[in-house]
Amino acid sequence: MGSSLYGDAQVCVRELIQNGIDACLLRQAMESTWGNQYIPEIKVVFGQVDGEPTLQVSDNGIGMDQDIIDKYFSRIGCSFYKSADFYALQAKHKTHFQPISRFGIGILSCFMVSDSLQVDTRRLYDTHSSSNPIQLRIEGLESVFWMLDGSRGQPGTTMDLTLRTDNPWAAMTDIERIATVVKAVPHPPFPITICSGDETTIHDGRPFLTARPPQEWNKSAHVRQLDIDITDTQLDLAGTASVVVLDDGGQPIGEKELFAREVSVEGFAPLHLTTTLRVGTNAITRHSCTLEVKESEIDTSYYDYKQVESECALAVHGISVPVNVVEEAWRNPRMKTRLSFPFPVWLRIDVIDQRDLDLNTARSEIIYNEKWLDFAEAVSFAICRGVRYAVDGEYWEELCRIWRSKDGVADYFVRGLARAME
């Protein structure tokens, strides 16, 4: 069942971490209400016990008690973070963070890589009050839950998985294992400790926000790259963007002819061969015309090559969403949640705070609705505003003219551009 939902067995780390993040953020809100200092902590450890590979994910969040285990943890499809109990707790402590966990099915992913799961947990009630510690042992998805007295001293939860020998991390190096966790959670709301063997990394998400395109991303002459910080707490967005525009002598242009030659062939009208750079949707394209003489006819061919093409890494509340939102429409014509810009952009973006996107149960697709359209407009505005601040007034006005003249410009981009022009 887990494989049918998720496909990739590595997602169990993502599911466990996002549960820990929610638990820590909820405790943070409670501790703030009480005036207490609190430092959220999550630790991921790839290790071995008695020669068997193990995975441990621990947090110092709110934890669980018997009631939470009975009503939510032990019932597939029942999420505490979609329950009246959670909303009442939010109201009590005046917090409105958007939880990452949504469907109450994360435990299914654990049994894609493990046959046994041990949970040690203790729930925080008040500033000096918590539940008795509980230990759960689960020997398979169809097994009963063995509930024992635990020994955990502080509130929080530790999940211990005994991994199968053919687990997806078995053939990886320690550094590669750590990299899979960083990729799954590229921008956590607080630092996460990741350990494998002798390697330890404190992952704080800064590389996600400071990343720039590789040098080979933009090799062409006649282009200008604008690196922009699009982090904005009012828009509830965090990230960076690198926009590429065609430039000729310090002025933006819509296309640039690189090569032109008139060819005369006896018995035929003169032929015009060209190579042109053109700005298009999410790309700058090299358009070329060639010809081949065949006895009594001439074969003319046209070739398009993407000189610079958009790339995007998207996260929602720090957790990666493995969908290419700048993918060309012909590759996946059914996908509606696509960002289309009249220029290529290298984008790293996280949806933070109160902004949210609706995802399918596997977190592999974005649901097309008003949340998506509002997000697309906000991203368009953030990028256009950043470009406006990066260039002079005359340059900006010409860019706006070029972008608005393109065919098929998305409505949300038009709205975002209009806001940036105000």
At residue 267, the pLDDT reads 63
State the Cα–Cα distance between residues 275 and 302, nearest whole angstrom.
10
Instruction: Say which residue the tokens 């494989």 belong to.
Output: 3
Token pair recorded at residue 176: 């590669």
In angstroms, the Cα distances linking 25 to 42, 47, 181, 238 are 11, 27, 20, 18
Token pair recorded at residue 417: 């551009």
What's the residue count for the chain? 422
The SS3 of residue 24 is helix
Instruction: Say which residue the tokens 């949504």 belong to.
Output: 102
State the Cα–Cα distance between residues 35 and 43, nearest whole angstrom.
25
Q: What is the pLDDT along the chain (422 residues), one digit of tens a residue?
A: 444 555 677 888 999 999 999 999 999 999 999 999 999 999 999 999 999 999 999 999 999 999 998 888 877 778 888 888 888 888 888 877 788 887 666 788 888 899 889 999 999 999 989 999 999 998 876 677 788 999 999 999 999 999 999 999 999 999 999 999 999 999 999 999 999 999 999 999 999 988 889 887 877 788 899 999 999 999 999 999 999 999 998 999 999 988 877 776 666 666 777 888 999 999 999 888 776 766 667 667 778 888 899 999 999 999 999 999 999 888 888 889 999 999 999 999 999 999 999 998 878 889 999 999 999 999 999 999 999 999 999 999 999 999 999 888 999 999 999 999 99
State the Cα–Cα distance between residues 373 and 325, nearest whole angstrom.
13
At residue 87, the pLDDT reads 86
At residue 3, the pLDDT reads 47
What is the helix (H) or strand (E) element at residue 241, kind and residue range?
A: strand 237-248
> Domain 2-204: which topology?
Heat Shock Protein 90 (3.30.565)
DSSP assignment of 362-387: TS-SB--SHHHHHHHHHHHHHHHHHH
At residue 329, the pLDDT reads 83
At residue 10, the pLDDT reads 84
At residue 266, the pLDDT reads 65
The SS3 of residue 326 is coil
State the Cα–Cα distance between residues 70 and 80, nearest whole angstrom.
11
At residue 9, the pLDDT reads 74
- The residue extents of the domains of the chain are 2-204, 210-253+309-421
Torsional class of 267: left (φ above 0), alpha (ψ -120 to 50), beta (otherwise): left
